[in-house]
Amino acid sequence: MITCDESKSRFEDFLKNYESLKSQDISESDTRSKLIDRMLINVLGWDEKDIIREGHVDNGYYDYKVSIAGLTFIIEAKRQFVEFTLPNDTRRKCNLNTIYSENKLVVDQIRNYLSDCGCDIGIITNGKQYIIAKFINTNGISWKQNKCILYRNFQEIEENFVEFWNTLSKESIIQYKGIKPLCDVEESFYKTILSSISEKDNEIVRNDLSAMIAPLIDKALGDIYSANEDEDDLEFIKECYVENKEVIKNKRELHGLFCDNPPELKEVSKARNIDSIEKQIDNEIRKYPSEKATSPTPKPIIIIGSRGAGKTTFLKFLLNNNSSENNSLNTPYLFVNMMKYYDGNDIIDFNVIYDDLLQQFDEKYPSYVNIPFLGQFYIGLAKVHKFSI
């Protein structure tokens, strides 16, 4: 990529070449090849691989689509002597609504292209004038209220070249992860609750009710399972867990909000409710009977879901809800919650895990030690723990 100094030198050469074109009424295609291409590639440092020309969409053919990872924008080119009607003052920013009526055709045209391409940022230029803006909104605010960046002629670009470079050069867009002046406006729109609180870092002065409310907040909004399995309120978990047994009217919308879609892997089965997941897990367990030491090793069953989706809660509910007498999940199991053993360090003490597994086995299934296969498992686990293999 070129530096700002190199770009400025190339822009000066570009202006010298432009003098020979100024007296010619060049066509739109010549405007693209002789002015816009040179500005994009020679001056602003874009590569040919970043640019697609004259791509077809539902509303016609856009002139340029410029793309890098994380950002795509459309450029609509007009012939050199098609002048845009812009405010005649020194400001280089104004609302799109200010220039819309006088430039309606070209603004509507680029908005249609952007909508077809799924983009929001566009540039309208005749080679020497530039209108740069976010023409599509998804934040509930009219796009006409968006600010646009204006460059009325080459003299204005030359006098404010560093700003022009910071706005449209490939290097700057990569550095700022977007067109910086538009990013600044976007960031000013989104505010967090904390950003609106004055002296948010000061200690909170608690009121008289805090001592009574704090336990209720922890009970109502805290985790419904604990790191220690013995402390779980299983009845409370069962009451809180929502089973999808009825047809939901707005199923498609709710599905997008509450359902985790597993990746499209060959051996991953999608599930939507407790009953279907329980049957799938039960079928997998039955495929690999464990009565013999020579039985094949079962495939691991992995529950996939985003943070807070309820994976741990579901497993605890599933393993403790022995509603089906013939359910294979009623077979012995040991539950290991790795969160219990992680204290922020890179090393986990597996001896503690072995101790807990042996203790679980002793407490849950004392009579199983005499069953040949399970007894061998218990002895093997004890040996592994003893010799720290």
Alpha carbon of residue 348 to chain centroid: 31
With H, G, I as helix, E, B as strand and everything else as coil, classify residue 193: coil
Q: Name the residue type at position 365.
A: Y
Query: Is the model more confident about 69 or about 147?
Result: 147
Answering whether pTM is above 0.95, one says no
- pLDDT 10s digits, 215-234: 777 767 666 666 565 666 77
Percent of the chain with pLDDT over 70: 60
DSSP secondary structure letters along 58-109: TTEE-SEEEEETTEEEEEEE--TT-------SS-SEEEHHHHHGGGHHHHHH
Model confidence at 195, pLDDT cuts 50, 70, 90, reads low
- pLDDT 10s digits, 6-26: 999 999 999 888 877 766 666
The neighbour count for residue 40, using CB atoms within 10 Å, is 23
pLDDT at 386: 46
Average pLDDT on 360-382 reads 62
pLDDT at 135: 95
**CA 220, CA 236: separation in Å to the nearest integer?**
11
Residue 70 has pLDDT above 80, yes or no: yes
**CA 162, CA 181: separation in Å to the nearest integer?**
13
User: With contact defined as beta carbons under 8 Å apart, do 313 and 241 qualify?
Assistant: yes
Model confidence at 115, pLDDT cuts 50, 70, 90, reads very high
Query: Is the model more confident about 208 or about 83?
Result: 83
Model confidence at 249, pLDDT cuts 50, 70, 90, reads very low
Alpha carbon of residue 344 to chain centroid: 26
**What residues contact 77, with CB distance under 8 A and at least 6 apart?**
28, 31, 32, 36, 63, 64, 125, 126, 127
User: With contact defined as beta carbons under 8 Å apart, do 131 and 125 qualify?
Assistant: yes
**CA 121, CA 194: separation in Å to the nearest integer?**
29
User: With contact defined as beta carbons under 8 Å apart, do 357 and 336 qualify?
Assistant: yes
Alpha carbon of residue 283 to chain centroid: 35
Lowest mean pLDDT among 5-9, 111-115, 247-251: 247-251
- What average pLDDT is seen over the chain? 75
Lowest mean pLDDT among 16-25, 100-109, 282-291, 322-331: 322-331
Residue 94 has pLDDT above 70, yes or no: yes
Average pLDDT on 152-161 reads 93
pLDDT at 102: 94
Domains of the chain: 4-189 (3.90.1570), 223-331 (no CATH), 332-389 (no CATH)
Average pLDDT on 25-32 reads 70
Query: Is the model more confident about 250 or about 26?
Result: 26
pLDDT at 185: 56
Percent of the chain with pLDDT over 90: 32
